[in-house]
């Protein structure tokens, strides 16, 4: 379970109105900060004070905060705003990171997605990890972790799908009966993606409390998969032969196997049409010309 939380690359935290993800984001930030990584935060949706609430002072001093909430369009014209708007802010964050394990938290990615063209945002996100890898010199996958908070209801399937295809890990928050759950989909480069479900809760001091399984009181859908499909169930023919039938079938000769009996039967003048007679009764649809029974005279 802990290995799943060793998140690298682009991690999407998809929350919704019922199950908010900012507390999980903060819990992951705290975990990263306690682990000795550098943490950079781009704050867009909530103010800095509100975001920093809940962290204790040691962690707060380690967080590098870029504030886009107070003055996103830089109307106050103070010198401290990051140039270039949100994209420029992402670029600047990337440049200011030192080599080594870094966690970048984007609060929130939805805010950026609503204001920037999606393609540009995707390119910027990929560029971040790549440039960090170039600078750091270590393996690209192990160094940078970008946590992006994404609100599911705000976006259509297009941007969500595009970001999902870029992300290495997708954490979808949902839950039942007061217990939050995270469905974690890990895409590793050349392996099958793995899906895991964790039940967790975030304690007031922003540490993560993982529970092993779902809560005892309710189990709404234990098996999301449909029951096993039996293709032979709705057929008009019988797939299961009895012993007698199987024997009868086995004793058949194939009609086009030219065996010696067949050859003899063909060579021998047959008994003629005595065994089978054909009765023909024309019905309303038959248009039979008695002089031209085959209907192929071009008259």
Partner 1 sequence: MAAVATCGTGAGSTGSVVAAGSKNNVTSFQRRGPRASGSDSSYSRLVSIAGTRPSVRNGQLLVSTGLPALDQLLGGGLAVGTVLLIEEDKYNIYSSLLFKYFLAEGIINGHTLLVASAKEDPADILQELPAPLLDDNVKKDFDEDACNHKTAESNIKMKIAWRYQLLPKMEQAGPVSSSRFGHYYDASKKMPQELIEASKWHGFFFPEKSSSTLNIEPCSLTHGYIKLLQFIQNIIYEEGFDGSNPQKKQKNILRIGIQNLGSPLWGDDICCMENGNSHSLTKFLYVLRGLLRNSLSACMITMPTHLIQNKAIISRVTNLSDTVVGLESFIGSERETNPLYKDYHGLIHIRQIPRLNNLIYDVSDVKDLAFKLKRKLFTIEWVQDNYLRQERNIYPPGFSYLLKQKDSAWGEGSLQHSTFLMSFLAKETAFASRLVRHSEPLEQTGSGRALQAAGPRLWRDGRRQEAPGLLVTPP
Q: Give just the sign of the alpha carbon dihedral 55, 58, 62, 66.
A: positive
How far does Cα 1 stand from its chain's mean position?
Answer: 19
Could you give the angle at the alpha carbon of 119 between the alpha carbons of 113 and 121, nearest 5°?
45
- Smallest separation, CB 281 to partner 1 (Å): 6
Interacting residue with partner 1 among 193, 205, 213, 218 (CB under 8 A): 193
How far, in Å, CA of 200 to CA of 207, rounded?
Answer: 10
Judged by CB under 8 A, does residue 284 bind partner 1? Answer: no
For partner 1, give the closer residue by CB, 61 or 226.
226
Which of 15, 26, 35 is CA-nearest to residue 54? 26
How far, in Å, CA of 37 to CA of 28, rounded?
Answer: 12
For partner 1, give the closer residue by CB, 17 or 254.
254
Position of tokens 């008259």? 299
Judged by CB under 8 A, does residue 290 bind partner 1? Answer: no
Interacting residue with partner 1 among 216, 229, 284, 297 (CB under 8 A): 229
Judged by CB under 8 A, does residue 114 bind partner 1? Answer: no
Which range, of 3-11, 56-64, 202-210, 234-242, touches partner 1 by CB under 8 A?
Answer: 234-242
Q: Which residues contact 60 (CB under 8 A, 6 or more apart)?
A: 52
For partner 1, give the closer residue by CB, 38 or 169.
169
Helix (H) or strand (E) segment spanning residue 174: strand 169-176
Judged by CB under 8 A, does residue 130 bind partner 1? Answer: yes
Judged by CB under 8 A, does residue 118 bind partner 1? Answer: yes
Interacting residue with partner 1 among 56, 209, 247, 289 (CB under 8 A): 247
For partner 1, give the closer residue by CB, 194 or 211.
194
The footprint of partner 1 on residues 68-97 (CB under 8 A) is: none
Are 147 and 182 within 8 A, CB to CB?
A: no
Max intra-chain CA distance, the chain: 111
The residues binding partner 1 (CB under 8 A) are 117-123, 126-127, 130, 156-159, 161-162, 165-166, 187, 190-193, 195, 225-231, 234, 236-239, 241-242, 244-256, 275-283, 286
């Amino acid at each position: 379970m802990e290995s799943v939380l060793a998140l690298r690359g682009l991690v999407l935290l998809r929350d919704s109105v019922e199950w908010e993800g900012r507390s999980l984001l903060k819990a992951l930030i705290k975990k990263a900060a306690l682990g000795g990584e550098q943490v950079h935060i781009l704050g867009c949706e909530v103010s800095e004070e509100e975001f920093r609430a809940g962290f204790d002072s040691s962690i707060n001093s380690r967080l590098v905060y870029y504030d886009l909430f107070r003055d996103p369009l830089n109307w106050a014209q103070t010198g401290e705003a990051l140039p270039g708007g949100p994209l420029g802010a992402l670029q600047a964050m990337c440049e200011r990171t030192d080599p080594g394990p870094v966690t970048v938290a984007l609060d929130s990615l939805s805010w950026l997605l609503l204001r920037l063209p999606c393609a540009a945002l995707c390119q910027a996100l990929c560029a971040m990890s790549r440039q960090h890898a170039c600078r750091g010199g270590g393996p690209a996958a192990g160094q940078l972790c970008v946590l992006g908070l994404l609100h599911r209801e705000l976006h259509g399937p297009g941007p969500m799908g595009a970001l999902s295809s870029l992300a290495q890990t997708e954490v979808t928050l949902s839950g039942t009966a007061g217990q939050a759950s995270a469905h974690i989909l890990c895409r590793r480069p050349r392996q099958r993606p793995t899906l895991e479900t964790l039940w967790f809760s975030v304690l007031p001091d922003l540490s993560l409390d993982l529970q092993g399984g779902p809560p005892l009181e309710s189990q709404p859908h234990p098996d999301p998969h449909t029951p096993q499909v039996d293709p032979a169930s709705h057929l008009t023919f019988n797939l299961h032969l009895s012993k007698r039938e199987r024997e009868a079938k086995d004793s058949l000769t194939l009609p086009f196997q030219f065996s010696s009996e067949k050859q003899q039967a063909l060579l021998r003048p047959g008994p003629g049409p005595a065994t089978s007679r054909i009765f023909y009764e024309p019905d309303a649809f038959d248009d039979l010309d008695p002089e031209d029974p085959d209907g192929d005279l071009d008259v």
